[in-house]
Structure 1
């Protein structure tokens, strides 16, 4: 008979409180001795005298390390480890199969395949616990925005902050046609996720207008009923931008809610309980007065592509023993695009394809990127006005000028990069594919 190993305690994991203390101490040291720049993984390794893999384990907060390691980590930032800084970890029997990544969509919270991009995470973790905070996460599609948002929300929950998450992709088209219906929908979803009865009809008075009614609902019901703070996370906000008849009013409302926490009156204390996260890919094309836009206040975060060091580290987590030149060959094809990189490493680590084969068949219809490339082309065909500009970009031997709004739309779809007002293909994979696909179209 096979004996099933029992769970046993082994090692410790940094607690929410310990993580907060460590981040604050680390940030202080960065401000004092590193010109405010976040330490790289290599720099952290030198400071703590711990390996990169060990540091990654500590920062992931999902896999145990020995207590002495955590003490050493804290000591490197002039902290003494105390009991409330960590929790005992319990090991489960090892899984039969190694972790399989989610090919698209949010990377699970407990995944070792999530790549931190300093200082993005630490800035967000610090901001989300601040009264009345507003965080804006912006990046093209499939750059990891939702995965980052999920981790910021987890950080908030560990500080006993309630969370409400709304993805505007889940809303029916009819919801966006009128501001009143849209805000009723938002209030109803928030009530439902908080486990509170919906009291929208009794709180709504048409004399006052939709924005006032939604504000009244949050201030006099949701926020007042709660004995904790609240994060309102709004994902895929780009969906709202397609409806200019509600966009300006809604964005102005978010700015007003953020400002209400700063008035210094009796209501400010209540509104300081609310934190807002806005996640989007595109620039808003609706003209907003400076004092009514939520896009020039709070913390702005733009997710960068992976660096060579991050791709090297990620390849190791996939079980690949790559040299630098192999990392460089993959990056020459996909740059540091997170989704394209994860997809390649997944198939390579499963030994479904070699790196040489991947590079040769990259744009083939039956290649590992075939489905993704066809989806990108399908998305582009929804915007015929963009096709001609993209064709010019991929055929040009050097970056070229494109009408600003068109350039931003192409950038939000993730197929180009814009630098110094000039546009170039996002990566060699897209350049090769769209040269062929748009010539046939």
Structure 2
């Protein structure tokens, strides 16, 4: 059979415009696994073997399996048919212009995913290699500690969702605790905070909390919390436990508990590495720490969890990624839009998605988008007001941002203040100088922070 990639592009049946959905990818993987067990001595098929079996080129197979760039529907039909499957409508996500479907999908995107996590099968998720690969590979390692750092609304939650999905496929137990859910009073004492953490992890795992049995004030809060994990949460099952601690940067504002809390996390990591009776138990814990700003606490290098394990940083979108996203939104001349948006929002994932959504729905033209930044009609108004409101609540940050936007060549700020602004996504660094992270912020804050 000739490779499908050799079919003429002009054929109306060969239009490139679909990406495997999460369900379709799972069906295909299951069929491949079963076939390899029966016909390939249990060994995973190589791309060359898959090419021989499906009639698709290795290049096309790679594109299908990465689920990043659209292919034509007949390619998926051939791939599925080779493993005895019939391609169903929910096995793929269409990238072809379909006015009714586009309006429904994109409207739902604006109402939900633009405000948070992109679903696993969202066609608007852009992979930023090697982040996804490193995350999944590392969390499979015993006792792994992974740090995911990026400014607000840069896609950390969507990345973590993909890691959680992979962990669940490997039958890990998973627990996600966002520190943003904790009332400010929770952070008043280390004992209260660590008890809250234990209860939240227990609930996430569907377990009753047993604080009374494992918490002993005589031994201190950190010891009691570690005992709770060691003797209860980790011991109750032989399956690995993936624990995600989100918005950890909130603890940076409470130095009275931060040192002991982060020291405890570092101790857990070290416990999995010592050749001791309990090291195997602690190896079942895979810890992901998610935060938005650089660490500015005076932690000892031997007590900090921020200088061990694997650090994954999420960069802004590149021009090529913005162009790919413009294609997925159905915009013509994606290179043109990518060039303009890179100059204006500098690859900020949320701002890029927001702009492309409105452009694709003809809510605004590109010229209007660029010219209405400081007006109530701007599509960025809600986001910008939120950022301005945060600065108003924190006068030192407001004053620092004022210096940044009013100093064309950049200004040298105190590191703590600079990192906090970076965590908000408002600034970037060049050498020791701090500058606005994008033209949008420069224009807006220059006007409102005069």
1:236 aligns with 2:250: no
Q: For 2:302 and 2:167, how far apart are their aligned partners in 1?
A: 28
Match in the other structure for 2:344: 333
Answer whether contact 1:232 1:276 (CA < 8 A) is retained: yes
Q: For 2:31 and 2:445, how far apart are their aligned partners in 1?
A: 49
Change (3 A) 1:354 1:191: same
Match in the other structure for 1:130: 141
Change (3 A) 1:335 1:13: farther
Match in the other structure for 2:192: 181
Match in the other structure for 2:265: 254
What does 1:13-52 correspond to in 2, within 5 Å? Answer: 13-15=27-29, 48-50=58-60
Q: How far 1:406 moved relative to its partner?
A: 1.6
Q: How far 1:242 moved relative to its partner?
A: 1.4
Render the CA deviation track for 1:136-192: whole Å, top value 9, x for unaligned: 000111111111111111111111111000001111111111111111111111111
What does 1:228-307 correspond to in 2, within 5 Å? Answer: 228-307=239-318
Answer whether contact 1:13 1:65 (CA < 8 A) is retained: no
Q: For 2:62 and 2:410, how far apart are their aligned partners in 1?
A: 37
Q: For 1:64 and 1:289, how far apart are their aligned partners in 2?
A: 58
Match in the other structure for 2:76: 66
Answer whether contact 1:10 1:91 (CA < 8 A) is retained: no
The farther-off stretch of 92-101 and 363-372 is 92-101
The farther-off stretch of 120-129 and 392-401 is 392-401
Match in the other structure for 2:217: 206
Match in the other structure for 1:42: none
Render the CA deviation track for 1:375-426: whole Å, top value 9, x for unaligned: 1101111221122222221122212322222211111111110131211110
Q: RMSD of the TM alignment (CA)?
A: 3.0
Q: How far 1:92 moved relative to its partner?
A: 4.0
Match in the other structure for 2:105: 98
Change (3 A) 1:65 1:369: same
Change (3 A) 1:52 1:360: farther
Match in the other structure for 1:164: 175
Q: For 1:412 and 1:17, how far apart are their aligned partners in 2?
A: 43
1:369 aligns with 2:380: yes
Q: For 2:337 and 2:297, how far apart are their aligned partners in 1?
A: 44
Match in the other structure for 1:223: 234
Matched pairs, number: 393
For 2:114, what is the secondary structure of its paired residue? coil
Answer whether contact 1:14 1:58 (CA < 8 A) is retained: no
Q: How far 1:284 moved relative to its partner?
A: 2.8
Change (3 A) 1:52 1:267: closer
Render the CA deviation track for 1:302-354: whole Å, top value 9, x for unaligned: 11000011000001111112242332112211110000000001111111111
Match in the other structure for 1:57: 67
Q: For 2:241 and 2:31, how far apart are their aligned partners in 1?
A: 18
Q: How far 1:70 moved relative to its partner?
A: 8.7
TM-score by length of structure 1 reads 0.82
Change (3 A) 1:70 1:121: farther
